[in-house]
Each structure stands twice: as structure tokens, then as C-alpha cells.
């Protein structure tokens, strides 16, 4: 999962959770506010009713009270209203049939109400009642009943309308939040993606790669530090290449002279030698050859990395080169009791390659296979036709290479520790590096497959020559 998606998802989830939490708080707060307002309105209504009761008692005019009760009956959600005197008699009631009646319940209710305002719920009716005091004496109780379902419905409808409006706003906010999160995440992770890509390029050896710096924040500082590091690595690599190239050139001349003198001794031009001297001289020549190959490999790597290796690319028959290399290694293979053979069609399409460099590729691969193939083993040089390319390779029945070591095989001076002790002879660790860079210099690709205990296959592909290229080479 991409980092920008994780950041965007987390930001969107945070916005969504915040909106849900705010919506929940708003729902409960709105409902509580509506219920509180409803209660306050009921209290105001009952207090006004009590005041009218006091005025009616002062004027000894029940008509005022009865008319007020009838006016209350027009209010939304109204169920009933009445005034009980201290004897429990209905002095006023919205139902004229109950006027003057006395009931035990009414009398008890009138006697027990001592709070200024009291709310009770009886049979889905919210009753609000308050004592009526005149000249310091409680003369009765005023009661107003409201339909509980009506007010509940009013509250629910108001809350639903509020929630609906909030949902629309939340939806719009969430859409903008998602877009903003994606833009924000892209903005934050894009420099990191560029940094990751640049790190991969540096890992591939592209030390000249740099990343653009577009800000002065922490990410910008990280990018600047990366560029500074890459520049220093490039400088160190150049210093190393210059040093290796210089040292290699300085070594080549005395090595050539040393080998010449040793050959003179071997040929007896300086006088006769005994058997021990001849044996020691042979060992010195072998060491000189080995050192010479190492110096040549270092020079080849330095030239390839510096882009100074010359390639003469032209149409070439790869089968002829492979057959030549097969014949070249037959004497060594026979002495080590290893079978080396070529497996290829009788005719193979020409490829765009440099004949000397292609020989070097096959030579290095076969030489590498010889080191790790035991007595009685086989080394196969093979060629296969493909649609636009020709695939070639060297397969052996040697010790194999661990899977975790395969990606490192083409690195400079890299040698597999698990199989190094099983090798016949010592290498420089540069042969496969040279092979890879030559193949890529020819416009091809190289790969490796291996199974421990069964063998290894190095393969590479080169582009076929086009008719135009063939015609140009024959002109």
C-alpha cells in the first residue's frame, strides 16, 4: 500500500470520526436544548395560569378563569387544564361537565402539591402543576396537561431536520476533506517518493543523480542532505577510479617487463637452470599472469564506468563466437574431466555486438563456470532464437549459488562466501561485473538463475540486426 494512500486514508478517517463525534454531540445537545425550551414554555404557561387564578380569586370572578382555560385549549399539544380549590373542587376546567365536581384524586393532588412547579407524566400526558397562593395562603392548584407524544414528535422532527442539514454539510465537508487529504498526502509523499527513487538510482551506481529541492521544511532539508551525500559519494568514487586507473597503469608496465625477463630465464637465454629453479620460475610466471589479469580487469572496469570503453558494434554471428570459445576451453575441460559443449541451431540470426567484447563475455562466463564445476560435470554454452532478440548463456552443473546472493553477483569484488571455498582457484571478483557492463553497453540485458547443488545459468539477450544494419555492414 502506497504511503500517500495511507496518509490520505488516515486523514479522511480522522475527518470522518471528527464529523461523527461532532454530529453526535450536536444531536444530544439539540435534543436537550429543545426539551429544556419545552419545559420552560410549560412553566411559563402554568405560571401565567396561576396568575390568572389569583386575579380571578381577587375579583371573585370565575368567568375570567374559565375563559382563560378555554383559550389554553387552543394551544398545540394541549390536553386539559383546570384549577382545583383547596377542597379539591374543579373551579375551572376545559371540560364544562367537570365544573364543581369533587374527586378524591383531585383533592389529594391539590393537597400534596407543595413545589412551585412540578412536572409528572401520566398516561402519555405531561402534567405541569403549581400551587396558587393568594394573600399568603394556598387556595388551590393549577394544572395543565400536554400530549407527550405530540411534543416528542415535535422534538424528533426538529432534531431530524437538524441532523439532515448537518449530514449535508458533513457530506460536503467530507468530500472536500478527502480531496484535501489526497492533495496533502501527495504533497507530503511526493518528495519522499523522489527521494526513494533517487536512493535506488544511487544504489545502481548512478552517483550523479540529484533530486529537486522545492521547500525549506524538514523534507527539503532531507533532500538537501541527500544531494550533499550523493555529491560526496560521486567525488569519492571518482577519486577511487582515478586512483585505481593510475595505479593500474603504473603496474602494467613493470609487470610486462617482469614477465619478459621471467620468460627469458625460462627459455634458458640467461644460462642453464636446475629443476627447482625451473619449478620456482613457473610459479612466478603463473603469479605474474594472475596479477596481470587482475590489473587488466581493473582497467576494464574503470574504462566501462567512465564510458571510455570503445565498442565496435556491427552485425555478428553469435554461433561462430560461441563455437570458438567452446573450442578454446576444450583442453582445460579435458584435463579437469569436464564436458564443455555448444547447444545452438545450425543457423542463428546476427546480433548487434562487438566481436571482441562478446568473446570476453563468453570467456568470463565459461571461466567462472569452470571454477565451480566439479570433475565429471558439464558446461553448456547455448543460444536460442527469440522474436526480436537472441538469448545466449552458459549453464553448469556446479555447486550452485544461494538465492539471497544472486542480486549481489554483479557487484564489484563480490564473491559468494558460501561457495568461495569450493572454487578451483581464486578470482578477482570483477569478471561478472565486466560481463554485465559489456552486455549493457551492447544494449542487452543479463540475468542469472541457480539451484544449490544442481548448477547455475548465466544468460543474456542481445538485439537482432535489422535488414538496414545488415545491408550497411555488407556495403
SS3 442: coil
The one-digit pLDDT tens for each residue of the chain (475 residues) are 566 566 666 777 777 787 777 777 777 777 788 778 877 888 888 888 888 888 888 888 888 888 888 888 787 888 888 888 878 888 888 888 888 888 766 544 655 666 656 666 667 788 888 888 888 888 888 888 888 787 788 778 887 887 787 777 777 877 877 787 777 766 777 777 777 777 777 776 676 777 777 767 777 777 788 778 877 877 777 776 666 666 666 666 777 777 787 778 778 777 788 888 878 888 888 788 777 777 776 776 766 666 667 788 899 999 999 999 999 999 989 999 999 999 999 999 999 999 999 999 999 999 889 988 999 999 999 999 998 999 999 999 988 888 888 888 887 766 666 566 666 666 667 788 888 989 998 899 999 999 988 899 999 999 998 888 777 777 6
Domain 218-306 has CATH 1.10.287.130: yes
Exposed / middle / buried, residue 76 (Cβ in 10 Å: 0-12, 13-18, 19+): exposed
Measured between alpha carbons, how far is residue 239 from residues 228, 233, 235, 371 in Å?
A: 17, 10, 6, 33
Q: How far apart are CA 139 and CA 50, in angstroms?
A: 11
CA torsion 114→115→121→123, rounded to 10°? 20
Bridge pairing between strands 351-353 and 389-396? unpaired
H helices of 318-454, where?
318-335, 355-372, 417-420, 431-441
- Looking at CATH, the fold of the domain delimited by 314-474 is given as Heat Shock Protein 90 (3.30.565)
Domain range summary for the chain, segments of one domain joined by +: 3-154, 218-306, 314-474
Strand partners, 340: 379
**Which CATH architecture does the domain made up of 3-154 adopt?**
2-Layer Sandwich (3.30)
Asked if the domains 218-306 and 314-474 are classified in one and the same CATH topology, the answer is: no
> pTM for this one?
0.49
According to DSSP, residue 135 is labeled: T
SS3 82: strand
Q: What angle do CA 119, 125, 128 make, to 5 degrees?
A: 25
Amino acid at each position: 500500500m502506497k504511503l500517500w494512500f495511507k496518509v490520505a486514508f488516515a486523514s479522511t478517517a480522522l475527518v470522518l470520526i471528527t464529523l461523527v463525534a461532532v454530529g453526535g454531540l450536536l444531536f444530544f445537545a439539540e435534543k436537550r436544548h429543545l426539551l429544556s425550551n419545552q419545559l420552560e414554555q410549560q412553566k411559563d404557561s402554568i405560571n401565567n395560569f396561576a396568575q390568572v387564578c389569583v386575579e380571578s380569586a381577587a375579583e371573585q370572578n370565575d368567568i375570567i378563569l374559565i375563559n382563560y382555560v378555554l383559550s389554553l385549549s387552543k394551544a398545540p399539544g394541549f390536553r386539559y387544564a383546570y384549577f382545583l380549590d383547596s377542597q379539591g373542587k374543579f373551579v375551572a376546567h376545559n371540560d364544562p361537565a367537570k365544573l364543581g365536581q369533587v374527586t378524591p384524586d383531585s383533592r389529594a393532588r391539590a393537597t400534596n402539591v407543595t413545589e412551585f412547579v412540578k412536572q409528572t407524566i401520566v398516561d402519555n400526558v405531561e402534567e405541569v402543576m403549581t400551587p396558587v397562593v393568594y394573600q399568603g395562603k394556598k387556595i388551590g392548584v393549577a394544572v395543565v396537561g400536554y400530549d407527550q407524544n405530540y411534543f416528542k414528535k415535535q422534538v424528533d422532527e426538529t432534531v431530524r431536520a437538524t441532523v439532515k442539514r448537518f449530514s449535508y454539510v458533513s457530506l460536503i465537508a467530507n468530500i472536500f476533506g478527502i480531496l484535501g487529504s489526497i492533495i496533502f498526502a501527495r504533497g507530503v509523499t511526493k518528495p519522499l517518493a523522489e527521494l526513494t527513487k533517487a536512493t535506488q538510482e544511487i544504489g545502481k551506481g548512478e552517483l550523479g543523480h540529484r533530486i529537486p529541492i522545492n521547500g525549506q521544511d524538514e523534507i527539503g532539508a532531507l533532500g538537501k542532505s541527500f544531494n550533499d551525500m550523493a555529491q560526496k559519494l560521486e567525488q569519492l568514487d571518482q577519486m577511487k577510479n582515478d586512483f585505481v586507473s593510475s595505479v593500474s597503469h603504473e603496474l602494467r608496465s613493470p609487470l610486462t617487463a617482469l614477465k619478459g625477463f621471467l620468460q627469458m630465464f625460462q627459455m634458458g637465454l640467461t644460462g642453464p637452470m636446475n629443476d627447482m629453479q625451473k619449478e620456482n620460475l613457473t610459479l612466478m610466471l603463473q603469479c605474474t599472469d594472475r596479477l596481470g589479469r587482475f590489473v587488466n580487469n581493473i582497467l576494464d572496469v574503470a574504462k566501462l564506468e567512465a564510458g571510455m570503453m570503445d565498442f565496435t558494434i556491427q552485425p555478428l554471428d553469435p554461433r561462430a563466437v560461441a563455437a570458438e570459445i567452446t573450442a578454446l576451453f576444450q583442453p582445460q575441460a579435458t584435463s579437469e574431466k569436464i564436458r564443455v559443449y555448444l547447444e545452438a541451431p545450425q543457423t542463428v540470426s546476427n546480433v548487434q555486438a562487438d566481436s571482441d567484447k562478446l568473446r570476453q563475455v563468453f570467456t568470463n562466463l565459461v571461466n567462472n563456470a569452470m571454477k565451480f564445476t566439479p570433475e565429471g560435470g558439464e558446461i553448456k554454452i547455448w543460444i536460442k532464437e527469440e522474436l526480436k532478440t537472441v538469448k545466449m548463456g552458459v549453464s553448469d552443473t556446479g555447486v550452485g549459488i544461494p538465492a539471497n546472493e544472486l542480486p549481489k553477483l554483479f557487484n564489484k569484488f563480490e564473491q559468494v562466501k558460501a561457495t568461495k571455498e569450493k572454487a578451483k582457484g581464486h578470482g578477482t571478483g570483477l569478471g561478472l561485473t565486466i560481463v554485465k557492463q559489456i552486455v549493457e553497453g551492447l544494449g542487452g540485458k543479463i540475468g542469472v538463475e541457480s539451484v544449490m547443488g544442481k548448477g547455475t545459468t548465466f544468460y543474456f539477450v542481445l538485439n537482432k540486426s535489422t535488414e538496414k544494419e545488415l545491408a550497411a555492414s555488407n556495403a
